Amino acid sequence: MAPLDLWLRCETKEFEHRSMLTPTTAKKLIDSGKFTVTVERDPQRIFKDSEFEEVGCKLVEHNSWPSAPLSSLICGLKELPPNDTTALPHAHIMFAHCYKQQGGWIDVITRWEAGQPTGMLYDLEFLQEENGRRVAAFGYHAGFAGAAVGTLALAKQVGSNGEKERLGETKPYPNEAALIADVKGQLAAVEAKLGRKPRALVIGALGRCGRGAVDFFKEAGFEDDNIAKWDMAETSKGGPFQEILDADVFVNCIYLTSKIPSFIAPESIEAAGDKRNLRVVVDVSCDTTNPNNPIPIYSVNTTFDKPTVDVEGLTVGPPMTVVSIDHLPTLLPREASDAFSNDLLPSLMTLPEAVAEREPRQGKPITAQDVDKAKPERVWKEAEALFWDKLADAQRETKGKSA
Ligand SMILES: NC(=O)c1ccc[n+]([C@@H]2O[C@H](COP(=O)([O-])OP(=O)(O)OC[C@H]3O[C@@H](n4cnc5c(N)ncnc54)[C@H](O)[C@@H]3O)[C@@H](O)[C@H]2O)c1
Protein backbone atom coordinates (compact mmCIF):
# COMPACT_ATOMS: atom_id res chain seq x y z
CA MET A 1 0.00 0.00 0.00
CA ALA A 2 1.42 3.45 -0.93
CA PRO A 3 1.86 5.75 2.10
CA LEU A 4 -1.19 7.86 2.91
CA ASP A 5 -0.54 11.60 2.91
CA LEU A 6 -1.90 13.48 5.93
CA TRP A 7 -2.07 17.19 5.10
CA LEU A 8 -2.08 19.37 8.24
CA ARG A 9 -3.98 22.53 7.33
CA CYS A 10 -3.66 25.85 9.14
CA GLU A 11 -6.36 26.84 11.63
CA THR A 12 -8.18 30.02 10.68
CA LYS A 13 -10.07 30.74 13.91
CA GLU A 14 -8.75 33.66 15.92
CA PHE A 15 -6.86 32.69 19.11
CA GLU A 16 -6.56 29.05 17.96
CA HIS A 17 -3.00 27.88 18.44
CA ARG A 18 -3.64 24.15 18.85
CA SER A 19 -2.85 21.54 16.24
CA MET A 20 -4.29 18.11 15.43
CA LEU A 21 -0.84 16.73 14.64
CA THR A 22 2.28 17.61 16.60
CA PRO A 23 5.94 17.13 15.65
CA THR A 24 6.00 14.08 17.98
CA THR A 25 2.99 12.34 16.46
CA ALA A 26 4.01 13.35 12.92
CA LYS A 27 7.38 11.65 13.45
CA LYS A 28 5.71 8.46 14.71
CA LEU A 29 3.37 8.43 11.71
CA ILE A 30 6.26 8.90 9.26
CA ASP A 31 8.45 6.34 11.05
CA SER A 32 5.67 3.73 10.69
CA GLY A 33 6.24 3.81 6.91
CA LYS A 34 2.47 4.06 6.36
CA PHE A 35 2.28 7.87 6.06
CA THR A 36 3.77 11.00 4.62
CA VAL A 37 2.91 14.23 6.45
CA THR A 38 2.49 17.57 4.67
CA VAL A 39 2.28 20.67 6.87
CA GLU A 40 1.00 24.11 5.87
CA ARG A 41 3.23 26.91 7.13
CA ASP A 42 1.35 28.60 9.96
CA PRO A 43 2.59 31.42 12.20
CA GLN A 44 -0.44 30.99 14.50
CA ARG A 45 0.26 27.33 15.42
CA ILE A 46 2.03 26.79 18.77
CA PHE A 47 4.58 24.48 17.07
CA LYS A 48 7.12 26.12 14.79
CA ASP A 49 7.11 25.07 11.12
CA SER A 50 10.76 24.04 11.59
CA GLU A 51 9.79 21.54 14.34
CA PHE A 52 7.73 19.66 11.73
CA GLU A 53 10.39 20.00 9.05
CA GLU A 54 13.02 18.52 11.37
CA VAL A 55 11.05 15.27 11.76
CA GLY A 56 10.58 14.80 8.01
CA CYS A 57 7.34 16.61 7.18
CA LYS A 58 7.04 18.46 3.88
CA LEU A 59 6.20 22.15 4.33
CA VAL A 60 3.77 23.85 1.95
CA GLU A 61 2.09 27.25 1.62
CA HIS A 62 -0.34 28.56 4.23
CA ASN A 63 -3.97 27.63 3.47
CA SER A 64 -3.14 25.71 0.30
CA TRP A 65 -5.12 22.55 1.08
CA PRO A 66 -7.92 23.24 -1.46
CA SER A 67 -5.42 22.45 -4.21
CA ALA A 68 -3.91 19.39 -2.45
CA PRO A 69 -4.08 16.08 -4.36
CA LEU A 70 -7.41 14.36 -3.70
CA SER A 71 -5.53 11.42 -2.22
CA SER A 72 -4.30 13.64 0.65
CA LEU A 73 -6.39 13.53 3.80
CA ILE A 74 -6.89 17.03 5.19
CA CYS A 75 -6.33 17.24 8.96
CA GLY A 76 -7.39 20.13 11.19
CA LEU A 77 -9.26 20.89 14.38
CA LYS A 78 -11.74 23.69 14.07
CA GLU A 79 -14.40 24.67 11.57
CA LEU A 80 -13.49 25.96 8.12
CA PRO A 81 -14.07 29.69 7.52
CA PRO A 82 -17.82 30.49 7.47
CA ASN A 83 -19.84 31.66 4.46
CA ASP A 84 -18.07 29.36 2.03
CA THR A 85 -20.26 26.90 0.19
CA THR A 86 -17.72 25.46 -2.25
CA ALA A 87 -17.62 21.69 -2.65
CA LEU A 88 -15.21 19.68 -0.47
CA PRO A 89 -13.88 16.81 -2.58
CA HIS A 90 -11.20 15.78 -0.02
CA ALA A 91 -11.59 13.60 3.02
CA HIS A 92 -11.27 15.75 6.15
CA ILE A 93 -10.60 14.89 9.79
CA MET A 94 -11.84 17.74 12.01
CA PHE A 95 -14.48 18.98 14.44
CA ALA A 96 -17.13 20.15 11.97
CA HIS A 97 -19.87 20.87 14.53
CA CYS A 98 -22.67 19.93 12.14
CA TYR A 99 -23.98 16.60 13.52
CA LYS A 100 -26.11 18.00 16.35
CA GLN A 101 -28.11 20.22 14.01
CA GLN A 102 -26.18 23.33 15.05
CA GLY A 103 -27.05 26.58 13.28
CA GLY A 104 -26.10 26.28 9.59
CA TRP A 105 -25.40 22.51 9.86
CA ILE A 106 -26.99 21.64 6.53
CA ASP A 107 -24.81 24.16 4.65
CA VAL A 108 -21.73 22.65 6.30
CA ILE A 109 -22.40 18.95 5.70
CA THR A 110 -23.69 19.39 2.15
CA ARG A 111 -20.30 20.77 1.11
CA TRP A 112 -19.06 17.16 1.33
CA GLU A 113 -22.11 15.95 -0.57
CA ALA A 114 -21.14 18.38 -3.34
CA GLY A 115 -17.63 16.92 -3.16
CA GLN A 116 -18.73 13.38 -4.07
CA PRO A 117 -17.56 10.81 -5.05
CA THR A 118 -14.39 11.55 -3.09
CA GLY A 119 -15.43 13.89 -0.25
CA MET A 120 -15.67 12.51 3.29
CA LEU A 121 -15.90 13.89 6.82
CA TYR A 122 -14.41 11.94 9.73
CA ASP A 123 -15.65 14.07 12.65
CA LEU A 124 -13.24 14.02 15.60
CA GLU A 125 -16.05 14.50 18.12
CA PHE A 126 -17.59 11.18 17.16
CA LEU A 127 -14.57 8.86 16.96
CA GLN A 128 -15.33 6.31 19.62
CA GLU A 129 -13.63 3.41 21.41
CA GLU A 130 -15.57 0.14 21.50
CA ASN A 131 -16.85 1.06 24.99
CA GLY A 132 -18.36 4.29 23.61
CA ARG A 133 -15.73 6.64 25.12
CA ARG A 134 -14.27 9.26 22.85
CA VAL A 135 -10.94 8.34 21.26
CA ALA A 136 -9.54 11.83 21.87
CA ALA A 137 -10.93 14.91 23.58
CA PHE A 138 -9.61 18.17 24.98
CA GLY A 139 -11.54 17.93 28.26
CA TYR A 140 -8.61 17.45 30.63
CA HIS A 141 -6.91 20.66 29.54
CA ALA A 142 -10.23 22.54 29.46
CA GLY A 143 -10.67 21.79 33.16
CA PHE A 144 -7.03 22.53 33.91
CA ALA A 145 -7.14 25.87 32.09
CA GLY A 146 -10.57 26.76 33.52
CA ALA A 147 -9.34 26.28 37.08
CA ALA A 148 -6.29 28.39 36.22
CA VAL A 149 -8.33 31.28 34.77
CA GLY A 150 -10.63 31.10 37.80
CA THR A 151 -7.68 31.34 40.19
CA LEU A 152 -6.17 34.24 38.22
CA ALA A 153 -9.55 36.01 38.35
CA LEU A 154 -9.76 35.43 42.11
CA ALA A 155 -6.27 36.86 42.60
CA LYS A 156 -7.12 39.97 40.59
CA GLN A 157 -10.41 40.56 42.43
CA VAL A 158 -9.23 40.09 46.04
CA GLY A 159 -6.03 41.98 45.31
CA SER A 160 -7.75 45.18 44.26
CA ASN A 161 -9.21 48.01 46.27
CA GLY A 162 -12.92 47.37 46.76
CA GLU A 163 -12.47 44.29 44.57
CA LYS A 164 -13.16 46.48 41.55
CA GLU A 165 -10.49 45.12 39.22
CA ARG A 166 -11.17 42.27 36.84
CA LEU A 167 -8.88 39.81 35.08
CA GLY A 168 -7.89 41.32 31.73
CA GLU A 169 -6.90 39.73 28.42
CA THR A 170 -5.26 36.39 29.12
CA LYS A 171 -2.84 35.12 26.48
CA PRO A 172 -1.86 31.47 25.90
CA TYR A 173 1.08 30.30 27.99
CA PRO A 174 4.06 28.72 26.22
CA ASN A 175 3.78 25.72 28.54
CA GLU A 176 2.19 24.42 31.73
CA ALA A 177 5.20 25.25 33.92
CA ALA A 178 4.94 28.94 32.97
CA LEU A 179 1.23 28.97 33.87
CA ILE A 180 1.76 27.27 37.23
CA ALA A 181 4.65 29.63 38.06
CA ASP A 182 2.47 32.66 37.26
CA VAL A 183 -0.43 31.45 39.41
CA LYS A 184 1.79 30.38 42.31
CA GLY A 185 3.36 33.84 42.28
CA GLN A 186 -0.09 35.36 42.90
CA LEU A 187 -1.48 32.91 45.45
CA ALA A 188 0.58 34.18 48.41
CA ALA A 189 -1.12 37.58 48.07
CA VAL A 190 -4.55 35.90 47.87
CA GLU A 191 -3.83 33.99 51.07
CA ALA A 192 -2.67 37.17 52.80
CA LYS A 193 -5.82 39.07 51.78
CA LEU A 194 -8.19 36.24 52.75
CA GLY A 195 -6.28 35.50 55.96
CA ARG A 196 -6.47 31.78 55.17
CA LYS A 197 -5.71 29.29 52.41
CA PRO A 198 -8.04 29.52 49.38
CA ARG A 199 -10.66 26.83 48.80
CA ALA A 200 -11.93 25.29 45.58
CA LEU A 201 -14.88 23.08 44.73
CA VAL A 202 -15.05 21.04 41.52
CA ILE A 203 -18.26 19.33 40.38
CA GLY A 204 -17.89 16.57 37.79
CA ALA A 205 -14.52 15.81 39.40
CA LEU A 206 -14.42 12.23 38.07
CA GLY A 207 -14.72 13.27 34.43
CA ARG A 208 -12.08 14.49 31.98
CA CYS A 209 -12.52 18.23 32.63
CA GLY A 210 -12.98 17.66 36.35
CA ARG A 211 -9.74 15.68 36.68
CA GLY A 212 -7.91 18.48 34.89
CA ALA A 213 -9.38 21.10 37.25
CA VAL A 214 -8.44 19.09 40.35
CA ASP A 215 -4.91 18.51 39.04
CA PHE A 216 -4.51 22.23 38.39
CA PHE A 217 -5.47 23.14 41.96
CA LYS A 218 -3.03 20.53 43.31
CA GLU A 219 -0.18 21.72 41.10
CA ALA A 220 -0.87 25.35 41.97
CA GLY A 221 -0.42 24.51 45.65
CA PHE A 222 -4.00 24.33 46.99
CA GLU A 223 -4.05 21.96 49.97
CA ASP A 224 -5.84 18.69 49.20
CA ASP A 225 -8.34 19.28 52.04
CA ASN A 226 -9.21 22.60 50.40
CA ILE A 227 -10.15 21.02 47.06
CA ALA A 228 -13.67 19.56 47.30
CA LYS A 229 -14.12 16.92 44.59
CA TRP A 230 -17.78 16.29 43.86
CA ASP A 231 -19.48 14.05 41.33
CA MET A 232 -22.88 12.33 41.09
CA ALA A 233 -22.90 11.00 44.68
CA GLU A 234 -22.42 14.43 46.23
CA THR A 235 -25.02 16.25 44.10
CA SER A 236 -27.69 13.53 44.37
CA LYS A 237 -29.25 15.32 47.38
CA GLY A 238 -30.18 18.19 45.02
CA GLY A 239 -29.02 21.81 45.01
CA PRO A 240 -28.59 24.70 45.56
CA PHE A 241 -25.54 23.89 47.70
CA GLN A 242 -24.20 25.99 50.57
CA GLU A 243 -20.80 24.27 50.09
CA ILE A 244 -20.39 26.11 46.77
CA LEU A 245 -20.82 29.47 48.49
CA ASP A 246 -18.19 28.45 51.07
CA ALA A 247 -15.53 27.90 48.39
CA ASP A 248 -13.57 30.81 46.86
CA VAL A 249 -13.60 29.30 43.37
CA PHE A 250 -16.22 26.89 42.03
CA VAL A 251 -15.54 24.97 38.82
CA ASN A 252 -18.46 23.22 37.11
CA CYS A 253 -17.35 20.35 34.87
CA ILE A 254 -20.43 18.15 34.58
CA TYR A 255 -21.72 16.60 31.39
CA LEU A 256 -25.32 17.83 31.45
CA THR A 257 -27.84 15.39 29.99
CA SER A 258 -31.15 16.40 31.57
CA LYS A 259 -32.80 18.94 33.83
CA ILE A 260 -31.34 18.86 37.35
CA PRO A 261 -31.84 21.18 40.35
CA SER A 262 -29.63 24.27 40.08
CA PHE A 263 -26.27 24.03 41.87
CA ILE A 264 -26.39 27.70 42.74
CA ALA A 265 -29.20 30.26 42.52
CA PRO A 266 -29.49 34.05 42.84
CA GLU A 267 -31.69 33.62 45.95
CA SER A 268 -29.19 31.38 47.77
CA ILE A 269 -26.32 33.75 46.94
CA GLU A 270 -28.27 36.67 48.32
CA ALA A 271 -29.33 34.70 51.42
CA ALA A 272 -25.69 33.91 52.25
CA GLY A 273 -25.09 37.66 52.59
CA ASP A 274 -21.58 38.70 53.58
CA LYS A 275 -20.80 35.18 54.83
CA ARG A 276 -20.26 34.15 51.21
CA ASN A 277 -16.67 33.30 50.25
CA LEU A 278 -17.44 32.53 46.61
CA ARG A 279 -16.02 35.13 44.26
CA VAL A 280 -15.44 33.22 41.02
CA VAL A 281 -17.51 30.59 39.21
CA VAL A 282 -15.90 28.82 36.24
CA ASP A 283 -18.50 27.10 34.09
CA VAL A 284 -16.31 24.78 32.05
CA SER A 285 -19.42 22.89 30.90
CA CYS A 286 -20.64 26.14 29.34
CA ASP A 287 -24.28 25.16 28.92
CA THR A 288 -24.83 28.88 28.69
CA THR A 289 -27.97 28.98 26.58
CA ASN A 290 -29.28 25.58 27.67
CA PRO A 291 -32.57 26.06 29.58
CA ASN A 292 -31.38 23.33 31.99
CA ASN A 293 -28.10 25.09 32.86
CA PRO A 294 -27.61 24.41 36.59
CA ILE A 295 -25.69 27.69 36.97
CA PRO A 296 -28.46 30.21 36.14
CA ILE A 297 -26.48 33.31 37.14
CA TYR A 298 -25.09 34.45 33.78
CA SER A 299 -26.20 34.42 30.15
CA VAL A 300 -23.17 35.06 27.92
CA ASN A 301 -19.99 33.24 26.97
CA THR A 302 -16.84 35.11 27.91
CA THR A 303 -13.59 35.09 25.92
CA PHE A 304 -9.87 35.33 26.67
CA ASP A 305 -10.05 39.08 25.82
CA LYS A 306 -12.35 39.65 28.78
CA PRO A 307 -12.50 36.39 30.71
CA THR A 308 -15.12 37.28 33.34
CA VAL A 309 -18.62 38.66 33.51
CA ASP A 310 -20.06 40.04 36.77
CA VAL A 311 -23.03 38.39 38.44
CA GLU A 312 -25.55 41.18 38.43
CA GLY A 313 -27.94 42.29 41.13
CA LEU A 314 -25.89 41.35 44.21
CA THR A 315 -26.53 43.68 47.10
CA VAL A 316 -24.36 42.04 49.79
CA GLY A 317 -21.02 40.22 49.96
CA PRO A 318 -18.03 40.63 47.66
CA PRO A 319 -18.44 40.98 43.88
CA MET A 320 -18.77 37.69 42.08
CA THR A 321 -17.77 36.85 38.51
CA VAL A 322 -18.31 34.00 36.06
CA VAL A 323 -15.81 32.60 33.55
CA SER A 324 -17.70 30.94 30.68
CA ILE A 325 -15.07 30.51 27.94
CA ASP A 326 -15.94 27.71 25.52
CA HIS A 327 -12.40 27.21 24.14
CA LEU A 328 -10.41 26.93 27.36
CA PRO A 329 -7.70 24.48 26.18
CA THR A 330 -6.34 27.29 24.00
CA LEU A 331 -4.67 28.64 27.16
CA LEU A 332 -2.22 25.72 26.99
CA PRO A 333 -1.97 24.94 23.28
CA ARG A 334 1.22 22.88 23.46
CA GLU A 335 0.20 20.43 26.17
CA ALA A 336 -3.43 20.29 24.97
CA SER A 337 -2.31 19.42 21.40
CA ASP A 338 0.24 16.87 22.63
CA ALA A 339 -2.33 15.04 24.76
CA PHE A 340 -5.03 15.09 22.07
CA SER A 341 -2.72 14.01 19.25
CA ASN A 342 -1.20 11.20 21.33
CA ASP A 343 -4.65 9.83 22.15
CA LEU A 344 -5.59 9.97 18.46
CA LEU A 345 -2.40 8.30 17.24
CA PRO A 346 -3.33 4.59 17.68
CA SER A 347 -6.51 5.18 15.64
CA LEU A 348 -4.65 7.19 12.99
CA MET A 349 -2.36 4.19 12.49
CA THR A 350 -5.38 2.19 11.23
CA LEU A 351 -6.60 4.91 8.86
CA PRO A 352 -4.83 3.72 5.67
CA GLU A 353 -6.84 0.47 5.73
CA ALA A 354 -10.12 2.40 6.08
CA VAL A 355 -9.19 4.71 3.20
CA ALA A 356 -8.10 1.79 1.00
CA GLU A 357 -11.52 0.21 1.47
CA ARG A 358 -13.46 3.46 0.95
CA GLU A 359 -11.77 4.88 -2.15
CA PRO A 360 -12.76 2.15 -4.65
CA ARG A 361 -16.40 2.47 -3.48
CA GLN A 362 -16.45 5.96 -5.03
CA GLY A 363 -19.08 7.61 -2.87
CA LYS A 364 -21.29 4.58 -2.26
CA PRO A 365 -22.65 4.97 1.28
CA ILE A 366 -22.25 2.41 4.07
CA THR A 367 -24.34 1.96 7.22
CA ALA A 368 -23.31 0.99 10.77
CA GLN A 369 -24.40 -2.59 9.99
CA ASP A 370 -21.78 -2.80 7.23
CA VAL A 371 -18.92 -2.14 9.67
CA ASP A 372 -16.81 -5.16 10.66
CA LYS A 373 -16.31 -4.47 14.37
CA ALA A 374 -13.40 -6.91 14.62
CA LYS A 375 -11.20 -4.90 12.25
CA PRO A 376 -8.76 -2.35 13.73
CA GLU A 377 -9.99 0.39 11.37
CA ARG A 378 -13.55 0.02 12.80
CA VAL A 379 -13.40 3.52 14.31
CA TRP A 380 -13.06 5.16 10.86
CA LYS A 381 -15.68 2.95 9.20
CA GLU A 382 -18.16 3.89 11.95
CA ALA A 383 -17.29 7.56 11.45
CA GLU A 384 -17.94 7.13 7.73
CA ALA A 385 -21.30 5.41 8.36
CA LEU A 386 -22.22 8.28 10.69
CA PHE A 387 -21.37 10.81 7.98
CA TRP A 388 -23.75 9.09 5.53
CA ASP A 389 -26.42 8.91 8.21
CA LYS A 390 -26.17 12.63 9.02
CA LEU A 391 -26.06 13.54 5.35
CA ALA A 392 -29.31 11.59 4.84
CA ASP A 393 -30.83 13.64 7.71
CA ALA A 394 -29.78 16.84 5.96
CA GLN A 395 -31.22 15.66 2.64
CA ARG A 396 -34.55 14.79 4.32
CA GLU A 397 -34.66 18.17 6.05
CA THR A 398 -33.94 20.01 2.81
CA LYS A 399 -36.61 18.01 0.94
CA GLY A 400 -39.12 18.64 3.74
CA LYS A 401 -38.53 22.38 3.50
CA SER A 402 -38.89 22.52 -0.27
CA ALA A 403 -42.01 20.26 -0.35
N1 LIG B 1 -15.24 25.13 27.99
C2 LIG B 1 -14.48 24.37 27.24
O3 LIG B 1 -13.51 24.83 26.63
C4 LIG B 1 -14.76 22.89 27.15
C5 LIG B 1 -13.83 22.04 26.53
C6 LIG B 1 -14.09 20.65 26.52
C7 LIG B 1 -15.28 20.17 27.09
N8 LIG B 1 -16.19 21.04 27.63
C9 LIG B 1 -17.46 20.58 28.23
O10 LIG B 1 -17.23 20.11 29.54
C11 LIG B 1 -18.25 19.17 29.89
C12 LIG B 1 -17.65 17.95 30.54
O13 LIG B 1 -16.88 17.24 29.57
P14 LIG B 1 -16.02 15.94 29.98
O15 LIG B 1 -15.31 15.49 28.74
O16 LIG B 1 -15.24 16.21 31.21
O17 LIG B 1 -17.20 14.91 30.34
P18 LIG B 1 -17.06 13.56 31.13
O19 LIG B 1 -18.21 12.73 30.67
O20 LIG B 1 -15.67 13.01 31.04
O21 LIG B 1 -17.26 13.98 32.65
C22 LIG B 1 -18.46 14.51 33.16
C23 LIG B 1 -18.54 14.22 34.66
O24 LIG B 1 -19.70 14.89 35.16
C25 LIG B 1 -20.33 14.04 36.09
N26 LIG B 1 -21.70 14.50 36.24
C27 LIG B 1 -22.69 14.48 35.29
N28 LIG B 1 -23.83 14.97 35.84
C29 LIG B 1 -23.54 15.31 37.13
C30 LIG B 1 -24.30 15.86 38.19
N31 LIG B 1 -25.61 16.16 38.04
N32 LIG B 1 -23.69 16.04 39.37
C33 LIG B 1 -22.39 15.75 39.53
N34 LIG B 1 -21.61 15.22 38.58
C35 LIG B 1 -22.19 15.01 37.37
C36 LIG B 1 -20.16 12.67 35.49
O37 LIG B 1 -20.37 11.64 36.48
C38 LIG B 1 -18.72 12.73 34.99
O39 LIG B 1 -17.81 12.34 35.99
C40 LIG B 1 -19.01 18.90 28.58
O41 LIG B 1 -20.19 19.66 28.60
C42 LIG B 1 -18.08 19.42 27.51
O43 LIG B 1 -18.78 19.85 26.35
C44 LIG B 1 -15.93 22.39 27.69
Residue 339, number of CB atoms within 10 A of its CB: 21
Q: Is 327 annotated as a binding residue?
A: yes
Distances (CA, A) of 253 to 66, 112, 147, 189: 38, 34, 10, 27
Distance 223 CA to ligand 1 centre (A): 24
Query: Which residue, judged by its Cα, is nearest atom 36 of ligand 1?
Result: 204
Q: Say if residue 258 is exposed, middle or buried (CB neighbours under 10 Å; 0-12, 13-18, 19+).
A: exposed
Gap from CA of 257 to ligand 1 centroid (Å): 10
User: What number does CATH give the domain 139-331?
Assistant: 3.40.50.720
- Residue 120 forms beta bridges with which residues? 91
pLDDT tens-place string over residues 307-337 = 999 999 998 999 999 999 988 999 999 999 9
For the segment 5-31, the average pLDDT, to the nearest whole number, is 95
| Side chain identity, residue 268 | S
Ligand 1, from 141, 209, 304: best to mutate by most atoms within 8 Å of Cβ?
209
Is position 284 annotated in a ligand binding site? yes
For range 189-203, the mean pLDDT: 96
Check pLDDT > 90 for residue 87: yes
How many helices (H) and strands (E) in the chain?
12, 12
**pLDDT per residue as tens digits for the range 69-81:** 999 999 999 999 9
> Using a 6 Å cutoff on CB, does residue 239 contact ligand 1?
no
Confidence of residue 15 (pLDDT cuts 50, 70, 90): confident
User: What is the set of active-site residues?
Assistant: 78, 97
Cis peptide bond upstream of 89, omega within 30: no
Q: Which atom of ligand 1 is nearest to the CA of 284?
A: 1
Q: Report the DSSP beta bridge partners of residue 310.
A: 321
Query: CA 137, 34, 6: angle at the middle one, nearest 5?
Result: 55
What confidence tens digit (pLDDT) does each residue in 261-281 have? 999 999 999 999 999 999 999
Instruction: Give the rounded percent of residues in the chain with a pLDDT score beyond 70.
Output: 100
Q: Whose CA is nearest to atom 21 of ligand 1?
A: 207
Domain residue extents for the chain: 4-136+332-402, 139-331
pLDDT in tens, 97-145: 899 888 889 999 999 999 999 999 999 999 999 999 999 999 999 999 9
Q: Which amino acid is at 62?
A: H
Look at residue 55 and tell me whether its pLDDT is greater than 80.
yes
Residue (of 188, 9, 179) closest to 94 by Cα position:
9
Specify the DSSP class assigned to residue 366.
Answer: -
C-beta of residue 279 within 8 angstroms of C-beta of residue 319: yes
User: CB of 74 closer than 6 A to ligand 1?
Assistant: no
Alpha-carbon gap, residue 341 to 137, rounded angstroms: 9
The predicted structure's pLDDT at residue 403: 67
**Ligand 1: which residue has its CA nearest to atom 30?**
232
The mean pLDDT value for 190-205 works out to: 97
Query: CATH number of the domain at 4-136+332-402, out of 3.40.50.10090, 3.40.50.150, 3.90.79.10, 3.40.50.720?
Result: 3.40.50.720
- The response to whether residue 328 sits with its C-beta less than 6 Å from ligand 1 reads yes
Kindly state the helix (H) or strand (E) to which residue 31 belongs, with its residue range: helix 23-31
Q: Whose CA is nearest to atom 32 of ligand 1?
A: 232
Distance CA 336, CA 153 (A): 22
- Assess contact for 365 and 339: CB atoms under 8 A: no
Reported pTM: 0.89
Tell me the average pLDDT of the chain. Answer: 95
Q: Tell me if domain 4-136+332-402 and domain 139-331 are identical in fold.
A: yes
Establish whether residue 339 lines the binding site of ligand 1, counting it when its CB lies within 6 angstroms of any ligand atom. Answer: no
Nearest atom in ligand 1 to 145's CA: 3
Average pLDDT over residues 14-25: 93
pLDDT band, very low/low/confident/very high, at 351 (cuts 50, 70, 90): very high
DSSP per position, 190-248? HHHHHTS---EEEESTTSHHHHHHHHHHHHHT--GGGEEEE-HHHHTT-S--HHHHHSS
User: Can you tell me the distance from the alpha carbon of 173 to that of 225, in angstroms, rounded to the nearest whole number?
Assistant: 28
